[in-house]
Amino acid sequence: MSDTTDILEMLSKGSITVEEAEKALRMKPFVDLGFAKPDLHRGMRQGIPEVIFGQGKTAEQIDAISESLLESGQKTVLITRLSEDKAALLKTAVKYYKEARIAAAGIIPEPDCKGTIVVATGGTSDLPVAEEAAVTAELLGNKVTRLYDVGVAGIQRLLSHTEELMSASVVIAIAGMEGALASVIGGLVNCPVIAVPTSVGYGASFEGLSALLSMLNSCASGVTVVNIDNGFGAGYSASMINHIGG
Amino acid sequence: MSDTTDILEMLSKGSITVEEAEKALRMKPFVDLGFAKPDLHRGMRQGIPEVIFGQGKTAEQIDAISESLLESGQKTVLITRLSEDKAALLKTAVKYYKEARIAAAGIIPEPDCKGTIVVATGGTSDLPVAEEAAVTAELLGNKVTRLYDVGVAGIQRLLSHTEELMSASVVIAIAGMEGALASVIGGLVNCPVIAVPTSVGYGASFEGLSALLSMLNSCASGVTVVNIDNGFGAGYSASMINHIGG
Amino acid sequence: MSDTTDILEMLSKGSITVEEAEKALRMKPFVDLGFAKPDLHRGMRQGIPEVIFGQGKTAEQIDAISESLLESGQKTVLITRLSEDKAALLKTAVKYYKEARIAAAGIIPEPDCKGTIVVATGGTSDLPVAEEAAVTAELLGNKVTRLYDVGVAGIQRLLSHTEELMSASVVIAIAGMEGALASVIGGLVNCPVIAVPTSVGYGASFEGLSALLSMLNSCASGVTVVNIDNGFGAGYSASMINHIGG
Amino acid sequence: MSDTTDILEMLSKGSITVEEAEKALRMKPFVDLGFAKPDLHRGMRQGIPEVIFGQGKTAEQIDAISESLLESGQKTVLITRLSEDKAALLKTAVKYYKEARIAAAGIIPEPDCKGTIVVATGGTSDLPVAEEAAVTAELLGNKVTRLYDVGVAGIQRLLSHTEELMSASVVIAIAGMEGALASVIGGLVNCPVIAVPTSVGYGASFEGLSALLSMLNSCASGVTVVNIDNGFGAGYSASMINHIGG
Amino acid sequence: MSDTTDILEMLSKGSITVEEAEKALRMKPFVDLGFAKPDLHRGMRQGIPEVIFGQGKTAEQIDAISESLLESGQKTVLITRLSEDKAALLKTAVKYYKEARIAAAGIIPEPDCKGTIVVATGGTSDLPVAEEAAVTAELLGNKVTRLYDVGVAGIQRLLSHTEELMSASVVIAIAGMEGALASVIGGLVNCPVIAVPTSVGYGASFEGLSALLSMLNSCASGVTVVNIDNGFGAGYSASMINHIGG
Amino acid sequence: MSDTTDILEMLSKGSITVEEAEKALRMKPFVDLGFAKPDLHRGMRQGIPEVIFGQGKTAEQIDAISESLLESGQKTVLITRLSEDKAALLKTAVKYYKEARIAAAGIIPEPDCKGTIVVATGGTSDLPVAEEAAVTAELLGNKVTRLYDVGVAGIQRLLSHTEELMSASVVIAIAGMEGALASVIGGLVNCPVIAVPTSVGYGASFEGLSALLSMLNSCASGVTVVNIDNGFGAGYSASMINHIGG
Amino acid sequence: MSDTTDILEMLSKGSITVEEAEKALRMKPFVDLGFAKPDLHRGMRQGIPEVIFGQGKTAEQIDAISESLLESGQKTVLITRLSEDKAALLKTAVKYYKEARIAAAGIIPEPDCKGTIVVATGGTSDLPVAEEAAVTAELLGNKVTRLYDVGVAGIQRLLSHTEELMSASVVIAIAGMEGALASVIGGLVNCPVIAVPTSVGYGASFEGLSALLSMLNSCASGVTVVNIDNGFGAGYSASMINHIGG
Amino acid sequence: MSDTTDILEMLSKGSITVEEAEKALRMKPFVDLGFAKPDLHRGMRQGIPEVIFGQGKTAEQIDAISESLLESGQKTVLITRLSEDKAALLKTAVKYYKEARIAAAGIIPEPDCKGTIVVATGGTSDLPVAEEAAVTAELLGNKVTRLYDVGVAGIQRLLSHTEELMSASVVIAIAGMEGALASVIGGLVNCPVIAVPTSVGYGASFEGLSALLSMLNSCASGVTVVNIDNGFGAGYSASMINHIGG
């Protein structure tokens, strides 16, 4: 029962004039007109996890937000960028993923859509970013296959997983240094590839700039890119795409 | 009838030894083992258009490739980055999209999947990139809605299209200068957003760098980014995602 | 007479139901709910010039927009980034400012506020940007004093104008190369300084980057910065500030 | 009673010759000729706070400067970039603003002009910069409204504050990451907007570069920019502008 | 005894059909077809050291990998980017090169090819990178001559070693700051020069960028470049080249 | 007879009061107090050439400035960045230096100080910048020795000129690409070296950035740097230094 | 018969004193002491082609240099960066390689060493750089195998040439955009790989910067890099390496 | 008594043949031919201090070098970039300049030339760099005048020192942030100005890049630039210039 309805009914009943109604509407147009987010919110109440950015918040603050979300009907809550120390202090968290630096509160969901998301990395140093992507995707209800350390300098390691790659509905390609993994995978598969440059490297990698530019210039079609080290963003986008298929 | 089959049959018949078979296979492993692209190719023969990058090729060269593709069963051929002058010389092209600088050969396809791709731009100068994205998506079998000149400096222009945005299965957000459009749309919608920075601007836009960095740093989840001015790449990725939904 | 009023009056008269009114309002919330820009528009109808970005538009297009603005009650129309050739083809323009590359349609306004805007440049090559700023400010109803070629390498040239600077309500400091002018003026005056880096220079000026960084790092308080070569933006902001004083 | 007056009176009384007077004046032209700053200084003695940059100074040094300013008639003294530890050692400070890292000595002033400065931030991490801007503005005699965490990824949060924004005389828009807030606010309001990029973000935010470029490229008129994280500079400039209106 | 052989023998014996053999081969083409690396691996078993990147691995992990390599017939194992503390914990290491931060397990090889690699540095601060290059080359079976601190600002120091330089089969030129050493050496010698920019320097050296750009722009023919501080890469490439000569 | 003297004499005679004198002095402090430039101007009247930046000025404008300078007693006038076409139209020019793009009006001066300036270049493509430096220095009264094409990739070319270098009072080292010349010369000589990076090169020379960074990072003491391609600035500074020696 | 010999013989005969001999030698140490380049020159006279950089030289100048080289016994002369128009005017050239923009004067040499250089490119647009590398290598006496358009986005194209790659003594890997080719090839082969980034691409390729950084960060050992578009440099270095093998 | 003399005398006496003499000379041309540095070295023995770069050396190492220099006749030794802790351990040092982080061994020299070097800074934070420059110049035998905290935002502070500036033979202008000081001083004085950008600042100062670019683009003639924070280099170059005047 929104304010707009109230105002209109008051106008309809003659309790207020047209001018008064017009002014009242003008004063709070965004609260009650119901565009944009409400659908999203509704969607979320139906089971899609809400996300709390853990960095810079105290354990108490996180618990408070987490509790209020769970009480409002949210089934799962993701807490990202969370140190192990802080995670140990959380009361609401039911599981902590150390590599991913993610905690989950509420229910750990089962996969709720058909497709599989493949998370591939160039090297073992890319693992924290990869786990952030993989755990995000899992907690958002996706099946995830991990293909780690399949960098292009040993192309046969990657090619030996052609079948997993070919059967994915989305691939997240994670690599630092020269970031070539995204292009090679983009050329092998038929599905969308989300590339995540990492800050792994030294010297002319310039904290991930090299991999970022490589991935943006990928000569393979179907490759899009997120920010350096943004495993969460890749997992979130991949989940969105994967759920389109039902 | 591939060479592998030949070799195996010769082995099966005893014409060659196991060692000879092994050596023969080792010598050309990639020609006939049929991984990766063939599935894609088969997919393409079922109706997905093939793409020719028109820049740097003569009209004759384009016609030759185009004809051979059509003869091999390809129904539609896209020719991108094609100047109007060169397009006029093409014999195989059935339609030229001037703003998009794309020509189509073969059959102009009808939409073959349910969802709609919204192509939104910040300003009128982003139009060539937007049309490259939109026409690419259309020729790949997608319904496309164009929302042009809905830049964030007049946010009500964008918000008046909330309904179109909310009903999209993918949104392509195209903007130069500060590139804020991607973030605002990413916050409004529930579907994947592909952001395309454009080189529109001057001074500190540094040929699209400003918009590119903005989009990579989008505070909205679900936004991925392609190269500056890469309308084709965005249209191609959006089509991939849109077709996942059937 | 807005649509909102129409809808509300129809509801008030019982011609439509509350539900119908609510739905109608929801469908076009931004056109007629009167937030944000309408106040601006009203302000504009009271005499503030509207601006047309001339670059990339034909003379016919500019004339059409210009005419429609003048017909709707707009008294003055600015057309920026307009080449001399195109200006010669315009029917609606009453004056062309060659250096500023700006044309005016409608009435050339008299200053309508008390303060004075000083436009200062480091060198003579900054003149086109300076004139864009100065003419913009004049056509927006400001008194403008021009102090050109008062670069810091000959500090006495600048200091001999201390009185004009001290009596300004806003100063626009325009300089390329090392962009030191903004800091020196910022230290001399008591009013807001808007700094405009220009692309004048060569080598390590990197198309205005050097001046831009200088100005952003100004050690003087009260200095804010606009994009490289953005004379229009500086003139517009200065006018906003100058009009605060009535 | 300046030296110049002394010299001139000595000349007037015949105690020195014209040549001696001329030479005396030439030797110290900037001390006593009273250009530029004196008006500012006078203004300051009338109540405008003086500012001490706290970083790199000891508590004793700050106290000494602060005391001498207060003794010379200064009513309020701002001490910026001051750590909590050092603030605890200050004898002259009457109040410490922890988030803003600012201390005040002397009298905390009441607002002395009509307009309101709105300080808006994209996220909660921008808070320290925002408080530096807000407290600076308050201590310089301005009414300040804080609108924090109204980033463009949830545009309705921002729009629900349209009224506060519309009634501001200046808006300070503070954001890291993609910095889109400045453009969206610039399009909503009719008053000057001072944009402050922050170093909040990671990867391709490049320590605030992304937000800085975005803001410089703002497609909204009336937006000017200060250095990354320069909350003080924004508050100072906003106060200057706000006081023009009386 | 690879899977491929198994499959082929089963086919040869009639245990499986040609179709079954073909499908089996298609499923794991990269595991057993033996392209690419096997030759390398074989080469390595013949004495070329294997390399373990020590950084980010525990002493236990390194020992485990090292042992397994030695057991499989590897004669020498290089462990790079290894801190002194961690080296002290290694059981498999037979020698630790402190400056180079490299440990060797197995046998320290004698030079096994005719040519000499000269490792030259501009200054003494480049020594750790130089030792990484030199020790890598030595452990890969090369004779190495060290010419340290022969920077171009004292050109006679370099020129007094003309003979050593002239008799090298490869020169590794290592320098930070302005990186001029590569060009000067490139002009003196008749053999390939591998340039290694170092992050030695401050200010406008931008962590090695200055030396990197210098070396890429070398006006001397025969100079190629590796990543900043990549002593290992230079030593490895130099060894490859040196071994071509037998 | 300056205004200050007039005012003081009027005060001395009692024609004006102390207050009137003080006010009069305050109004034009920079015109007549005789600091800074006047000494310079006097110096110039004694024979030091005045410089006109020719680019962006018409032949008529240049002639007018040139004539007025010559009439005021200036013996030589330099006109820099002057195209051959425009030079042909000049009436005041007595000589045009095509490579240097400099014209001279008035008298071509003889060397008026003892020392010699050596202008050295890395390659033949640096010649225009070198000639701008050399001709500037000559027209400012210096003896100049040209050592062109002595780049460090053929170090013996440079070293064969050790004697000329050793006897210079200032060396201007001009180089593009890797800019190593400045360091090598800086190590050979005992006098100040002014380094001029040029935009000669391609790819990673980034329009002179590579040479600029190299020169700023020179490991030789006594090297200072000017802007990319700034031959004039180097010639001017070198002349200043050379004249110190008398 | 060098000057040094003359001086020594004069000393030996007593025509000059030890002091006179010492002084004479000191005055021209680099002309006649025969270090460094002379060996190279001698080498060149034995058949290694001399190179003329054609850009910026007239046909007459090139012919003059070319003739003098041929007369002095040089068998082959390479002229690089030569436009077709200018090549048509050359009298000394016996063959022009249009794609490579190289002309040859004298004798087109046969391969004079055993190994093969493979020149591989990512795309067809990299062809001019590839031909510059390939023709340079051929004219320096090498066998060259061209593998064009084997970019990593279609990895099977590259892998189908594994045999050619495996049998190379040096591989030149040429690619623009993301430059991943160098890493993939570096992982496949056992020989030195020289990577050439090209300026092919747009937007975030930043004129070759993206490919350059990628290649410098290659995760494969044995990869070294030359300047953007420097086909000649790669061909020259590859030839040096290839000739080591005899 | 050099080796060259020995060889020549042996030849003169007939102990060796001309051929033997020639070969002997060719083998070590740079040790004894006495070009370049010897003159410098002689100069140094006449009193010019030698410099030891203290950073990265132990107190023992520094003492050893210092002692050997003093024993060889060197009167003064500068030790730069030396921490207070390490300085306390030095036995040879006779004085430590804390702000400058420089120690002196041997004799503290008196000024040995006529001119004065002015060291000016924009702010108090630039002091360490300024003291490094000033102490370097003093220990190299120059009179130094310090003008600290005369930044351009309070131009009268600088102008009140016009006389000191005008009487300098060289000015070292040191500033961070926007680096405008160099241009303003360059316009005031008639002598060479050496500009030192400092890393003082934050945000868009990018660790001194802003000041560096500003100074390179100085619109004043006679300004040359050294590396960021390179106080030593500026002091050394200034001393070279100052000593030209005798």
Average pLDDT score over chain B: 85
- Is F245 within 8 Å of H241 when comparing Cβ atoms? no
G70 neighbors G77 (Cβ within 8 angstroms): yes
- Is B237 within 8 Å of A212 when comparing Cβ atoms? no
DSSP state of G191: S
**Number of C-beta neighbours around residue D164 at 10 A:** 15
Q: Which residues on chain H are in Cβ contact (under 8 Å) with G33?
A: 25-26, 29
Tell me the residue ranges of DSSP E strands in G110-200. Answer: 116-121, 143-147, 170-175, 193-197
Q: Is A18 on the interface with D (CB under 8 A)?
A: no
User: In this structure, what token pair is assigned to residue B16?
Assistant: 């060659």
- Is B153 within 8 Å of D180 when comparing Cβ atoms? no
Best CA proximity match to H49, nearest among H78, H81, H92:
H78
Best CA proximity match to B179, nearest among G212, D215, G31, D229:
D215
> Predicted confidence band at B57 (pLDDT cuts at 50, 70, 90)?
confident
| pLDDT at residue H10 is higher than 70 | yes
| pLDDT at residue B13 is higher than 70 | yes
Cβ within 8 Å of residue D190, ≥6 positions away: C39, C40, C43, C240, D166
**Number of A:G CB contacts under 8 A?**
124
- Better-scored residue on pLDDT, B227 or G49: B227
What's the pLDDT at F155?
Answer: 85
Query: Going by beta carbons, is chain F in contact with chain E, meaning 3 or more pairs sit under 8 Å apart?
Result: yes
- Mutate one of E241, E242, E243 to test the G interface: name it (highest G CB count within 10 A): E241
* Range picked from A191-195, B69-73, F202-206, G35-39 for highest mean pLDDT: A191-195
> Predicted confidence band at D3 (pLDDT cuts at 50, 70, 90)?
low
| Mean pLDDT value across residues G30-43 | 32
Q: Which residues on chain H are in Cβ contact (under 8 Å) with D23?
A: none
D55 neighbors D85 (Cβ within 8 angstroms): no
Cβ within 8 Å of residue H38, ≥6 positions away: none
Q: Which residues on chain G are in Cβ contact (under 8 Å) with F154?
A: 37
**Number of B:D CB contacts under 8 A?**
126
- Is H37 within 8 Å of E154 when comparing Cβ atoms? yes
Which chains does chain E touch, 3 or more C-beta pairs < 8 A? A, B, F, G, H
Q: Which amino acid is residue C104, in one-letter code?
A: A
Q: Which residues on chain F are in Cβ contact (under 8 Å) with G31?
A: 160
D195 neighbors D218 (Cβ within 8 angstroms): yes
- Is E199 within 8 Å of A203 when comparing Cβ atoms? yes
Helices (H), chain B: 3-12, 18-27, 29-32, 37-45, 59-71, 84-89, 127-139, 155-159, 162-166, 181-188, 209-216, 231-244
Average pLDDT score over chain H: 85
Average pLDDT score over chain C: 85
Q: Is E16 on the interface with B (CB under 8 A)?
A: no
- Is D30 within 8 Å of H154 when comparing Cβ atoms? no
- Is A31 within 8 Å of D160 when comparing Cβ atoms? yes
Question: Can you give the pTM of this predicted structure?
Answer: 0.86
Round to whole Å and give the CA distance between F161 and C23: 89
**Number of C-beta neighbours around residue G116 at 10 A:** 18
| Mean pLDDT value across residues D24-44 | 38
Reported as a single tens digit per residue, the pLDDT across E96-143 is: 999 999 999 999 999 999 999 999 999 889 999 999 999 999 999 999
What's the pLDDT at D178?
Answer: 84
User: In this structure, what token pair is assigned to residue H50?
Assistant: 């030698």
- Is G35 within 8 Å of F156 when comparing Cβ atoms? yes
Q: Is B167 on the interface with C (CB under 8 A)?
A: no
- Mutate one of H150, H156, H177 to test the D interface: name it (highest D CB count within 10 A): H156
Please spell the DSSP secondary structure of F37-58, one letter per residue: HHHHHHHHHTTPPEEEE-TT--
Closest-CA residue in chain C for B154? C37
CA G13, G18, G23, G29: dihedral to nearest 10 degrees?
A: 70
Q: Which amino acid is residue B124, in one-letter code?
A: T
User: Which residues in chain F (91-150) have CB-CB distances under 8 A to chain D?
Assistant: none
H240 neighbors F223 (Cβ within 8 angstroms): no
User: Across-strand partners of G195?
Assistant: G173, G225
Task: Point out the least confidently predicted range of A77-81, C83-87, D24-28, F242-246.
Answer: D24-28
Query: Going by beta carbons, is chain A in contact with chain B, meaning 3 or more pairs sit under 8 Å apart?
Result: yes
User: Which residues in chain F (176-205) have CB-CB distances under 8 A to chain E?
Assistant: 177-180, 182-184, 186-188, 201, 203-205
User: Across-strand partners of D174?
Assistant: D121, D196
B182 neighbors B152 (Cβ within 8 angstroms): no
- Is A212 within 8 Å of D203 when comparing Cβ atoms? yes
User: In this structure, what token pair is assigned to residue D210?
Assistant: 């992304």
- Mutate one of E124, E149, E159 to test the H interface: name it (highest H CB count within 10 A): E159
Query: Going by beta carbons, is chain E in contact with chain D, meaning 3 or more pairs sit under 8 Å apart?
Result: no
To the nearest whole Å, the CA of C42 is away from the closest chain A CA by 16
Please spell the DSSP secondary structure of H8-45, one letter per residue: HHHHHTTSS-HHHHHHHHHHSHHHHS--SHHHHHHHHH
Q: Which amino acid is residue E237, in one-letter code?
A: S
Average pLDDT score over chain G: 85
> Of A123, A209, A220, which has the smallest distance from its Cβ to G219's Cβ?
A123
Report the share of chain E in percent with pLDDT over 70: 87
Round to whole Å and give the CA distance between G128 and G121: 10
To the nearest whole Å, the CA of F7 is away from the closest chain D CA by 9
What's the pLDDT at H195?
Answer: 97
| pLDDT at residue H155 is higher than 90 | no
Cβ within 8 Å of residue F71, ≥6 positions away: none
- Is F212 within 8 Å of C204 when comparing Cβ atoms? yes
Tell me the residue ranges of DSSP E strands in D92-192. Answer: 93-97, 102-106, 116-121, 143-147, 170-175
Reported as a single tens digit per residue, the pLDDT across E154-181 is: 887 888 888 899 889 999 999 999 889 9
Q: Which amino acid is residue A160, in one-letter code?
A: S
- Mutate one of G152, G156, G161, G227 to test the A interface: name it (highest A CB count within 10 A): G152
Q: Rg of the Cα trace of chain H? A: 22
Round to whole Å and give the CA distance between G64 and G48: 19
| Mean pLDDT value across residues B194-211 | 94
Reported as a single tens digit per residue, the pLDDT across E67-86 is: 988 887 788 999 999 999 99
- Mutate one of F1, F2, F10, F18 to test the D interface: name it (highest D CB count within 10 A): F18
User: Across-strand partners of F105?
Assistant: F77, F93
> Of B37, B209, B227, which has the smallest distance from its Cβ to G156's Cβ?
B37
- The helix (run of H) or strand (run of E) holding residue C42 is helix C37-45
> Predicted confidence band at F35 (pLDDT cuts at 50, 70, 90)?
very low
Cα dihedral C8, C10, C11, C12 sign: positive
Task: Point out the least confidently predicted range of C104-113, D14-23, E214-223, H32-41.
Answer: H32-41
What's the pLDDT at H3?
Answer: 60
Strand order in the sheet with E116-121: E143-147, E116-121, E170-175, E193-197, E223-225, G223-225, G193-197, G170-175, G116-121, G143-147
Q: Which residues on chain F are in Cβ contact (under 8 Å) with D33?
A: 25-26, 29
Determine whether E110 is exposed, middle or buried from the number of CB atoms within 10 Å of its CB (0-12, 13-18, 19+). exposed
- Is G224 within 8 Å of E224 when comparing Cβ atoms? yes
Asked casually if ipTM beats, i.e. exceeds, 0.90, the reply is: no
- Is H156 within 8 Å of D208 when comparing Cβ atoms? no
Task: Point out the least confidently predicted range of A39-48, A55-64, C127-136, E12-21.
Answer: A39-48
Cβ within 8 Å of residue H92, ≥6 positions away: H62, H63, H66, H67, H70, H77, H105, H106
CB-based burial, D130-155: b 16+ in 10 Å, e otherwise: bbbbbbbbbbbbbbbbebbbbbbbbb
Which chains does chain B touch, 3 or more C-beta pairs < 8 A? A, C, D, E, G
- Is A178 within 8 Å of G205 when comparing Cβ atoms? no
Round to whole Å and give the CA distance between C93 and D155: 39
- Mutate one of H8, H23, H26 to test the G interface: name it (highest G CB count within 10 A): H8
Round to whole Å and give the CA distance between B219 and D92: 42
CA H184, chain centre distance (Å): 24
Q: Which residues on chain G are in Cβ contact (under 8 Å) with B61?
A: none
